[in-house]
């Protein structure tokens, strides 16, 4: 065991809950709390939600298992994992493009993710300091416009978020993550339930929100809605960009991958559904529109916090925890590139994190300016912020996921995956069918629809 093989020196997370916590930390974030309600709102609710749930079950869960298994079988960074597996299997080296794409996709996502996380931090601060107290929904909406219209204000919070991300990431995945998440994730859960209670009992519109989310109007299942639902399924489970491959490399050999994958998918879905059930009743109670767009979460919840007893403190805690949930996702967005850069160049983790984080920060300014000075700068009719989201959701994540599925299902020897997944033969065959046929076919259909 020499320096030849980085895997030999890589430690695993010894606690069996740590992988679960890290994977759930990656999955649960702005995707659930901010993005899910706003996209579901834009595509009209129930029909979108139904397609989304199907994508999670049929595409998401099998792929979650495949990515984790690839990471754990090699214990290398995603790019080197792909290199080792292609050479072991004696297949075309080009498959390592999965590793390259993963790094690129994580980079692009974090450029806009950090800006939105910055909004959450800004809201936490403004709620705490009483900026919103007593405001009506119109005034709260005006404040959202004011924040996004101001480049300096957004840059401040974007910078703070990236600085915290770099600081925590530089300390190392083991030390940095574990302790914080053990406390924060359960607290976020409790707070979401408190807000759910509020939506049920205090808005008087709970059933209307409920019906919006679960009544399926089949005429609303358009090609565009299906594309968005599938993109959201990838995004929310952190799939298609090697994040879970990178984390899988640290997973203890005796943890069950299928069980962990099911748990993560379940928790993530639960969080998204609860967020929707919190947001939509409040939206109706304050006369807002479900289709309001990226400001939906911020304007609706803040309107509620502004007018409830203890709203300043509760609102502060809520948005601070959203920021922390975003942080644990952000760390996983950097991890694939960081793991590779440190393996490849042997440079110190702190320096590498600062360089990657700095580049993301810089490109992220494009997203900040999308709402103000560059609002008219458009590519394919989209601002930089919208384009970054569209490119990753519609192309990069599904494509990365499909390539990973084809690789795991068709290129690798059956035994490589069956050893890692350790399922009964029957269940393994079900998984293999999904990974070989369903995932690639679903993605092909989506890409065809999107490009048509
Ligand atoms: N899954 C995260 C969320 O829902 C976002 C993310 C996407 C994180 C891809 C890592 C990789 O907020
Ligand atoms: Na998520």
* pLDDT value at 15 more than 90: no
Over range 209-220, report the average pLDDT. 95
Per-residue three-class SS string for the chain: CCCCCHHHHCCCCCCHHHHHHHHHHHHCCHHHHHHHHHHHHHCCCHHHHHHHHHHHHHHHHHHHHHHHHHHHHHCCCHHHHHHHHHHHHCCCHHHHHHHHHHHHHHHHHHHHHHHHHHHHHHHHHHHHCCCCCCCCHHHHHHHHHHHHHCHHHHHHHHHHHHHHHHHHHHCCHHHHHHHHHHHHHHHHHHHHHHHHHHHHHHCCCHHHHHHHHHCCCHHHCCHHHHHHHHHHHHHHCCCCCCHHHHHHCCCCCCCCHHHHHHHHHHHHHHHHHHHHHHHHHHHHHCCCCCCCCCCHHHHHHHHHHHCCCCHHHHHHHHHHHHHHHHHHHHHHHHHHHHHHHHHHHCCCHHHHHHHHHHHHHHHHHHHHHCCCCCCCCCECCECHHHHHHHHHHHHHHHHHHHHHHHHHHHHCCHHHHHHHHCCCHHHHHHHHHHHHHHHHHHHHHHHHHHHC
Residues 216-241 have pLDDT tens digits of 999 989 999 999 999 999 999 999 99
Residue of higher predicted confidence among 196 and 20: 196
The model's confidence at residue 451, banded by pLDDT at 50, 70 and 90, is confident
117: nearest Cα among 56, 66, 85, 163: 163
Residue of higher predicted confidence among 173 and 162: 162
Domain ranges of the chain: 14-451
* pLDDT value at 51 more than 60: yes
Supply the mean pLDDT for the chain.
Answer: 93
* pLDDT value at 165 more than 80: yes
- The residue to mutate among 236, 392, 398, having the most atoms of ligand 1 within 8 angstroms of its beta carbon, is 236
* pLDDT value at 328 more than 60: yes
- pLDDT at position 177, please? 64
Distance 287 CA to ligand 1 centre (A): 30
CB 246 within 8 A of CB 336: yes
Ligand 1 atom at shortest distance from the alpha carbon of 237: 1
pTM of the full predicted structure? Answer: 0.94
Q: Any idea which residue has 């990974």 for tokens?
A: 435
CB of 392 within 6 A of ligand 1: the answer is: no
Distance 290 CA to ligand 2 centre (A): 20
Over range 102-129, report the average pLDDT. 97
- pLDDT at position 232, please? 97
Over range 325-353, report the average pLDDT. 90
CB of 46 within 6 A of ligand 1: the answer is: no
* pLDDT value at 5 more than 50: no
* pLDDT value at 63 more than 50: yes
Residues 130-160 have pLDDT tens digits of 999 999 999 999 999 999 999 999 999 999 9
Distance 242 CA to ligand 2 centre (A): 15
CB of 31 within 6 A of ligand 1: the answer is: yes
Residue nearest to atom 11 of ligand 1 (CA): 238
- pLDDT at position 181, please? 77
Over range 5-25, report the average pLDDT. 72
- pLDDT at position 4, please? 37
CATH 1.20.1740.10 fits 14-451, yes or no: yes
Interface confidence (ipTM) of the complex: 0.99
* pLDDT value at 175 more than 80: no
- pLDDT at position 6, please? 45
- pLDDT at position 3, please? 33
Distance 110 CA to ligand 2 centre (A): 14
Residues 366-386 have pLDDT tens digits of 999 999 999 999 999 999 999
Distance 299 CA to ligand 2 centre (A): 21
Of 11-20, 73-82, 162-171, the least confident: 11-20
Q: Express as a percent the part of the chain with pLDDT over 70.
A: 96
């Amino acid at each position: 065991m020499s320096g030849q093989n980085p895997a030999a020196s890589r430690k695993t997370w010894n606690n069996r809950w740590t992988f679960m916590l890290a994977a759930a930390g990656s999955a649960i974030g702005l995707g659930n709390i901010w993005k899910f309600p706003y996209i579901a709102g834009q595509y009209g609710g129930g029909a979108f939600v139904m397609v989304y749930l199907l994508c999670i079950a049929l595409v998401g869960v099998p792929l979650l298992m495949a990515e984790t298994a690839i990471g754990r079988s090699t214990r290398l960074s995603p790019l080197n994992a792909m290199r080792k597996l292609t050479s072991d299997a004696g297949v075309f080296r080009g498959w390592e493009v999965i590793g390259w794409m993963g790094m690129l996709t994580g980079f692009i996502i974090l450029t806009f993710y950090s800006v939105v996380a910055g909004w959450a931090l800004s809201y936490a601060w403004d709620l705490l300091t009483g900026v919103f107290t007593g405001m009506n929904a119109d005034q709260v909406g005006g404040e959202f416009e004011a924040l996004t219209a101001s480049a300096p204000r957004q840059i401040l919070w974007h910078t703070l978020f990236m600085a915290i991300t770099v600081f925590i990431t530089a300390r190392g995945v083991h030390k940095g993550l574990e302790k914080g998440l053990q406390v924060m994730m359960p607290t976020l859960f409790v707070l979401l339930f408190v807000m759910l209670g509020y939506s049920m009992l205090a808005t008087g519109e709970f059933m209307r929100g409920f019906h919006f989310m679960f009544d399926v109007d089949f005429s609303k299942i358009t090609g565009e809605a299906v594309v968005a639902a599938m993109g959201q399924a990838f995004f929310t489970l952190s799939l298609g960009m090697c994040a879970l491959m990178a984390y899988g490399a640290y997973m203890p050999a005796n943890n069950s991958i299928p069980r962990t994958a099911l748990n993560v998918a379940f928790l993530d879905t639960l969080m998204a559904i609860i967020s929707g059930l919190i947001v939509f009743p409040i939206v109706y109670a304050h006369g807002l529109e479900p289709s309001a767009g990226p400001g939906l979460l911020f304007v609706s919840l803040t309107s509620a916090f502004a007018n409830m007893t203890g709203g300043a403190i509760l609102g502060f805690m809520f948005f601070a925890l959203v920021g922390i949930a975003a942080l644990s996702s952000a760390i996983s967005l950097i991890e694939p590139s960081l793991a590779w850069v440190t393996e490849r160049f042997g440079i110190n983790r702190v320096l590498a994190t600062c360089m990657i984080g700095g580049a993301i920060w810089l490109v992220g300014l494009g997203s900040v300016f999308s709402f103000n000075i560059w609002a008219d700068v458009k590519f394919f009719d989209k601002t930089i912020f919208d384009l970054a989201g569209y490119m990753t959701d519609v192309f990069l994540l599904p494509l990365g996921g499909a390539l990973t599925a084809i690789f795991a299902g068709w290129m690798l020897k059956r035994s490589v995956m069956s050893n890692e997944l350790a399922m009964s033969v029957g269940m393994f065959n079900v998984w293999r069918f999904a990974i070989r046929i369903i995932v690639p076919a679903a993605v092909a259909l989506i890409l065809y629809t999107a490009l048509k």
